[in-house]
Structure 1
Amino acid sequence: MIGAQLADENLIESFRMHARWQEPAETHEQGGMLMIAGSTHRPGLYRNCALRLDPSVPAGKAFEQAMGFFGSRERGFALLTRKRFDEDMDSLLSDAGIFPRASSPCMIINRQLETVPLPEGVHTVAIESEAHLKDCVKVNMEAFPRLGVSADEVAGFFEHGDRVLGDNVCGYVAYKDGAPQATALTYVTGASAGIYWVGTVADAERQGLAGACTRLAVNAGFARGARLVTLQASPFGLPLYQRLGFRNYDGLSFYFFGRSQVS
């Protein structure tokens, strides 16, 4: 399935992208594995994580590499698996009594979306400056703690705004009375684009603002040459993405290992 391959390429590149945004961060690609030691010691997506790039690498060998990499650095990590590629890894961990801490549908869409009228007093702007980016970060510093990502960690990913802004990253912020309310980013990698960092402040929930930003972000990906747009849905965002027409193509599982398990 070519679409799934393109979407998966964008997902993988998003890990490299977030590593470039952090400081310090160490990216290690060897033996068919991608491993990132981020700017904090907390395990999690984009912070300290491992993902198998080559499904032909035996699950046991891949897991040993991740354990060795993070164990030598005395930090925990999140191991991510995909249903399409990592069934053997899931089986290996299940047999050892280790089960996912969380999961996320991987979704895809291959058509532009209609824009919708905004509520009175709301307008959207494209993220074209560090001031806009700071407002995007401000929104997600409030939104993402509900998903277990602290405000400080959100800020850490965007500490170097000049690394975020570029031809392959675009996005939108929705404002009401001058205050940022919702946001969404698009990351374009060749023939695919990914939607990341969709968030809404608590006071603006259920007003359609995240949906409006997502529609614009999806269309921006297609305008930059993408053949499809992908995302990994949180429990909060899943109903929205289903309404927009995204469909599942894979599933992402998250296994967490603490320092005591890798030392």
Structure 2
Amino acid sequence: MIGPQLADENLVESFRMHGRWQEPAEVCERDGVLMIAGSNSRPGLYRNCAMRLDPSVPAGKAFERAMKFFGARERGFALLTRKRLDEDMESLLSDAGIFPRGSSPCMIINRELEAAPLPTGMYTEVIEDEDRLRDSVQVNMEAYPRLGMSAADVATFFENGDRVLNDNVSGVVAYKDGVPLATALTYLTGSSAGVYWVGTLASAERQGLAGACTRLAVNAGFEQGARLVTLQASPFGLPLYQRLGFRNYDGLSFYIFGRSQVS
């Protein structure tokens, strides 16, 4: 179970990190529950969300803790569950007629990947400064609305570029003629690394750029000492990650509670 445990630690830390990057934001860990009140009032992943960290805390108590936290702030939130650790929480919600709004496979890989050739005229650059980070964000501001996250919300997490780069974050951007086309970020946390914010411009899809960036992001994690690399797959990315050799170890689901439900 060491692999899933390390991967899960990276997943949890990714939420803490996104909380730290926002301004203003409040990151609170209380009674075994992580709660993030982000820089706007909309419920969602990384913005206003809660996750039980200690599975020994009863599901009802953890849920009550989150409801009280966000109710005091008069905002809704996303409750995150992991199938491997939160079966009781998911059962509690299901029995109450509450079902997830979405879910993602949680995946891991334990080996470096062979680099993929890029189409003629395209090249990659490592994200080592805020200029390259801004190029990465520019790509994802176009890519992520297709997954239901607005461009403004993407930008919210990266307005303080120095915080991001100081948080053991690296990454890669693919270009053609100086125009950023695709990207992927790597978060190193202890003995694990996670690949996040994989995105490609619609005009540059089906050219292998997402795969090339993901391969480089995975290898960056291993080069920095990670024992494994993890990610949470979107429906768009899942076939690619399976081809690369990622395997499922868990599933992440989220439930949305509006302001009227918590006030």
- Percent identity (aligned): 81
Report the equivalent of 1:126.
126
Distance 2:122 2:194 in 1: 25
Report the equivalent of 1:240.
240
Look up the equivalent residue of 2:186 and give its one-letter code: T
Deviates more, 1:47-56 or 1:163-172: 163-172
Go from structure 1 to structure 2 and tell me whether the alpha carbon gap of 1:254 and 1:211 turns closer, same or farther (over 3 Å shift).
Answer: same
Helix, strand or coil: the match of 1:203?
helix
Report the equivalent of 2:89.
89
Report the equivalent of 1:261.
261
Alignment of 1:52-201 (within 5 A): 52-166=52-166, 168-201=168-201
TM-score (norm 1): 0.99
Report the equivalent of 2:226.
226
2:76 touches 2:259 (CA, 8 Å); kept in 1? yes
Quote how far apart the aligned CAs of 1:166 are.
3.1
Look up the equivalent residue of 1:15 and give its one-letter code: F
Helix, strand or coil: the match of 1:158?
coil
Across the two proteins, how many residue pairs are aligned to each other? 263
Go from structure 1 to structure 2 and tell me whether the alpha carbon gap of 1:50 and 1:167 turns closer, same or farther (over 3 Å shift).
Answer: closer
TM-score (norm 2): 0.99
Quote how far apart the aligned CAs of 1:206 are.
1.1
Deviates more, 1:160-169 or 1:85-94: 160-169
Distance 2:236 2:155 in 1: 21
Distance 1:245 1:176 in 2: 28
Q: Which sections of structure 2, spanning at least 5 residues, go unmatched?
A: none
Encode CA deviations 1:62-117: one digit per residue, 9 max, x unaligned.
Answer: 00000000011010100000011100000000000000000000000000000011
Report the equivalent of 1:48.
48
Look up the equivalent residue of 1:200 and give its one-letter code: T
CA RMSD of aligned residues (A): 0.7
Look up the equivalent residue of 1:34 and give its one-letter code: L
